[in-house]
């Protein structure tokens, strides 16, 4: 397909219908599948039978790209690693370790203790950047008893957990978030998706602001809006409002530790360290030859260039497999579990990640459809060139991504829908691709934070044992401040 080819207004329908359906049904999977089916039916002259055949083939063709396959495999295998850390007592041991360190603050009600414990909750959530759900659940399990004793509202805990998980996961992309984003960028023709993603991080205003506003609010000691009322209520001795329906998390936070095993924090720390260390090592290894060909250099410059040209999907897959193998040997040496149980736990973890892997599959398929067959981004750029300048593009991409993510409650689903459209439109308008990518990613995280149907928003309410509606209402003003500043930043940046 030539670069300028598109199918006019029809190229808008598949992603647009997918967005509208997601808003109406709240079913991201069904909406993406229908969008893909509609696109292929259109390409086959309106024949739904051929459209169905090509839809199935398009899903199969996702695996023709080795990068896509490796990313989906990583997503599945990281579920096995999470179950390993739970079964070995690593997560429970880490929670117990932190709680022992925080015993000095139990029973105290002075402002200094509240500030320190709140900051530690924020730091813990940001530190566990490997997986956003684990971050949220760990923060809830660790700090909920302390927050209750110190008279800090559970709504504040839910806000801290929610605002430190996804932002840190996207800003420190050595995880499934990074692999997914790199695969989407590679599908859009970027030869160095890792370097492209890293360059966009500095322009990803919302996650940066969301992370920074949390400690600012804690140190400022002055809440506002519904959060202020929640804090006043808690300080008077009421943990929840009279009509609140707290979301209890015993099933989610209770760890299935192997019988007879003493929980130890290092059973969680060691696998995570192995995975995080292996990622840049494998990026450098896979990009070493390309770096030497592109710009012969030596030392630190060559290493950085190699990391930028490395295969993100290879790095994350190798890292998670390495972490799994190290965990198996580590736990076997301690007598925690045998080979048969390890295999069963790996399969159990993979089964738990199947929905996320399916979302990746559909996102890759609709991205390829929009870019290579429909030319959606190119058409959007052509019809907006008369009134849309490159200066306005980042702002509009951010706003649209916010709306999509808020409506469907999924940042990853938003990435899959918006990245192909935003990149194609940005390239045709001549806008800076790194800013455009950052705007799409940041908008997805912002909308997801504000959405009451977002999985991380729901998990934050669960982990904090607070009413879900109360969490959404108390978090919204803070998220809107960060989102408003981010939107203003893109508007100013575009013109400057």
Which of 143-157, 195-209, 293-307, 349-363 shows the lowest per-residue confidence on average (mean pLDDT)? Answer: 293-307
pLDDT tens digits along 56-115: 999 999 898 887 788 788 878 877 887 888 888 887 787 777 667 766 665 555 677 788
Whole-angstrom distance, CA of residue 288 vs CA of residue 321: 21
Q: Three-state SS for 410?
A: coil
pLDDT tens digits along 209-219: 999 999 999 99
What is the overall mean pLDDT for the chain? 82
Whole-angstrom distance, CA of residue 84 vs CA of residue 105: 31
**Residue 203, pLDDT score:** 94
Whole-angstrom distance, CA of residue 459 vs CA of residue 450: 13
% pLDDT > 90, the chain: 23
175: which DSSP letter? S
- How many alpha carbons lie under 13 Å from residue 128 in its C-beta half-sphere? 26
Q: Which residues pair with 246 in a beta bridge?
A: 467
**Residue 227, pLDDT score:** 93
**Residue 467, pLDDT score:** 83
Whether 309 and 290 have beta carbons less than 8 Å apart is answered as: yes
Whole-angstrom distance, CA of residue 424 vs CA of residue 1: 14
Cα dist. 233→149, 223, 227 in Å? 14, 13, 10
Q: Is the pLDDT of residue 280 over 70?
A: yes
Q: Is the pLDDT of residue 53 over 70?
A: yes
Q: Is the pLDDT of residue 381 over 70?
A: no
Q: At which residue do the structure tokens 């998980």 appear?
A: 165
Structure tokens at 189: 């023709």
Q: What is the DSSP string of 423-445?
A: HHHHHHHT--HHHHHHHHHHHHH
More confident residue, 23 or 238: 238
Q: Is 46 left (phi over 0), alpha (psi -120 to 50) or beta?
A: left
Cα dist. 173→35, 181, 312, 326, 463 in Å? 29, 9, 10, 22, 24
**Residue 89, pLDDT score:** 86
* Model pTM above 0.85: no
Whole-angstrom distance, CA of residue 404 vs CA of residue 19: 7
Could you tell me the sign of the dihedral formed by the alpha carbons of 6, 7, 9, 13, in that order? negative
Whether 361 and 368 have beta carbons less than 8 Å apart is answered as: no
Q: Is the pLDDT of residue 208 over 70?
A: yes
Whole-angstrom distance, CA of residue 263 vs CA of residue 299: 42
Q: Is the pLDDT of residue 474 over 60?
A: yes
**Residue 458, pLDDT score:** 74
More confident residue, 463 or 436: 436
Whole-angstrom distance, CA of residue 160 vs CA of residue 139: 9
Whole-angstrom distance, CA of residue 128 vs CA of residue 102: 18
Q: Three-state SS for 411?
A: helix
- pLDDT, average across residues 122-142: 78
Whole-angstrom distance, CA of residue 322 vs CA of residue 70: 14
Structure tokens at 401: 């991504």
More confident residue, 115 or 133: 115
Q: Is the pLDDT of residue 2 over 50?
A: no
**Residue 442, pLDDT score:** 95
Among 111, 140, 116, 142, residue whose Cα is nearest residue 215? 116
Whole-angstrom distance, CA of residue 376 vs CA of residue 6: 7
* Residue 3: band (very low, low, confident or very high) from pLDDT cuts 50, 70, 90: very low
**Residue 57, pLDDT score:** 94
**Residue 253, pLDDT score:** 43
Whole-angstrom distance, CA of residue 105 vs CA of residue 102: 6
Which of 292-296, 323-327, 406-410 shows the lowest per-residue confidence on average (mean pLDDT)? Answer: 292-296
Q: Is the pLDDT of residue 301 over 70?
A: no
Whole-angstrom distance, CA of residue 374 vs CA of residue 363: 15
- pLDDT, average across residues 148-160: 89
**Residue 107, pLDDT score:** 56
Which of 5-19, 37-51, 317-331 shows the lowest per-residue confidence on average (mean pLDDT)? Answer: 5-19
Whether 444 and 401 have beta carbons less than 8 Å apart is answered as: yes
- Separate counts of helices (H) and strands (E) for the chain: 24, 0
Which of 50-59, 111-120, 294-303 shows the lowest per-residue confidence on average (mean pLDDT)? Answer: 294-303
């Amino acid at each position: 397909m030539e670069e300028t080819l598109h199918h006019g207004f029809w190229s808008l329908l598949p992603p647009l219908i997918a967005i509208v359906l997601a808003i109406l049904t709240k079913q991201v999977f069904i909406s993406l599948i229908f969008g893909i089916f509609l696109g292929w039916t259109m390409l086959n002259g309106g024949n739904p039978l051929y459209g169905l055949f090509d839809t199935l083939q398009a899903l199969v063709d996702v695996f023709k790209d080795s990068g896509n396959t490796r990313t989906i495999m990583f997503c599945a295998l990281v579920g096995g690693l999470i179950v390993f850390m739970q079964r070995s007592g690593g997560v429970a041991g880490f929670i117990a370790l932190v709680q022992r360190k925080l015993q000095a603050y139990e029973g105290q009600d002075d402002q200094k203790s509240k500030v320190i414990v709140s900051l530690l909750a924020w730091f813990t959530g940001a530190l566990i950047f490997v997986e956003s759900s684990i971050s949220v659940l760990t923060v809830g399990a660790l700090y909920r008893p302390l927050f209750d004793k110190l008279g800090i509202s559970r709504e504040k805990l839910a806000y801290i957990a929610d605002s430190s998980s996804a932002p840190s996961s996207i800003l420190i992309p050595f995880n499934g978030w990074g692999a997914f984003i790199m695969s989407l960028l590679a599908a859009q023709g970027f030869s160095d998706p890792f370097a492209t993603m890293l360059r966009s991080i500095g322009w990803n205003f919302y996650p940066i602001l969301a992370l920074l506003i949390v400690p600012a609010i804690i140190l400022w000691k002055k809440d506002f809006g519904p959060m202020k009322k929640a804090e006043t209520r808690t300080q008077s001795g009421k943990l929840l409002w009279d009509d609140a329906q707290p979301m209890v998390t015993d099933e989610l936070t209770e760890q299935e530790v192997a019988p007879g095993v003493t929980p130890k924090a290092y059973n969680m720390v060691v696998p995570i360290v192995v995975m995080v260390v292996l990622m840049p090592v494998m990026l450098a290894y896979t990009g070493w030859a390309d770096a030497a060909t592109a710009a012969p250099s030596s030392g630190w410059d060559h290493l950085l260039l190699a990391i930028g040209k490395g295969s993100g999907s290879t790095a994350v897959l190798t890292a998670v497999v390495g972490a799994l193998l190290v965990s198996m040997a580590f736990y076997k040496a301690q007598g925690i579990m045998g080979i048969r149980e390890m295999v069963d736990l790996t399969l159990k973890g993979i089964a738990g990640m199947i929905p996320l892997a399916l979302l990746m599959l559909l996102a890759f398929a609709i991205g390829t459809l929009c870019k290579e067959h429909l030319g959606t981004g190119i058409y959007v750029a052509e019809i907006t060139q008369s009134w849309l300048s490159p200066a306005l593009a980042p702002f509009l991409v951010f706003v649209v991504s916010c709306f999509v993510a808020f409506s469907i409650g999924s940042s990853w689903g938003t990435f899959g829908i918006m990245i192909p459209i935003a990149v194609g439109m940005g390239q045709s308008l001549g806008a800076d691709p790194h800013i455009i990518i950052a705007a799409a990613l940041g908008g997805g995280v912002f909308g997801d934070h504000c959405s009451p149907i977002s999985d991380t928003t729901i998990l934050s309410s669960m982990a904090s044992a607070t009413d879900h509606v109360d969490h959404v209402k108390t978090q919204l003003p803070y998220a809107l401040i960060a989102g408003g500043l981010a939107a203003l930043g893109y508007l100013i940046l575009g013109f400057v």
